[in-house]
Amino acid sequence: MKAHTEYLWFNTKKRREYINVTGDVEQILKRSQIKEGFVLVSAMHITAGVYVNDAESGIIRDIDEWLEKHAPAGLDYNHHRTGESNADAHLKNLMIGHQVMLPVTNGALDLGPWQQVYYAEFDGQRKKRVIVKIIGI
């Protein structure tokens, strides 16, 4: 059993962005030389998330609209009374999740035909990171 860890860094141009990181994760997996195991991809910030879904622009817009509908920016959240202004980003993180676990088979991500890995930024325009940890043989 061995482990391999790398980090992806982001500094988005917008407050909310959805970035396909599948290729980055595949490259890290290749460098790890692990053939069988699991990849953990985890946002290391409470205002960002990681998820698996289709790389289709319509569903990405639908996800963004769904999150905004259920945790809209600009409301008078309790969190804002502490001097912060990003409560909606915290709530969006809770809805989308902060990490995914992916299977590795024969040295490749073992994803379904349309599955892609996304980094979801909800309070961007500052430096943030994602950990990619691979464990296996």
Q: Tell me the pLDDT tens digit for each residue of 47-98.
A: 999 999 999 999 999 999 999 999 999 999 999 999 999 999 999 999 999 9
Query: What pLDDT does 86 receive?
Result: 97
Q: Where are the domains of the chain?
A: 2-136
**φ, ψ for residue 77 (rounded to 5)?**
-75, 150
Closest listed residue to residue 90, CA positions, set 111, 73, 114, 66: 73
38 forms bridges with which residues in the sheet? 103, 135
User: 2-136 has which CATH code?
Assistant: 2.60.120.460
pLDDT recorded at residue 74? 92
Kindly report the pTM of this predicted structure.
0.95
Instruction: State residue 68's pLDDT score.
Output: 98
The token pair at 65 is 């609209």
Mean pLDDT of the chain: 97
Query: What pLDDT, on the 0 to 100 scale, is given for residue 116?
Result: 98
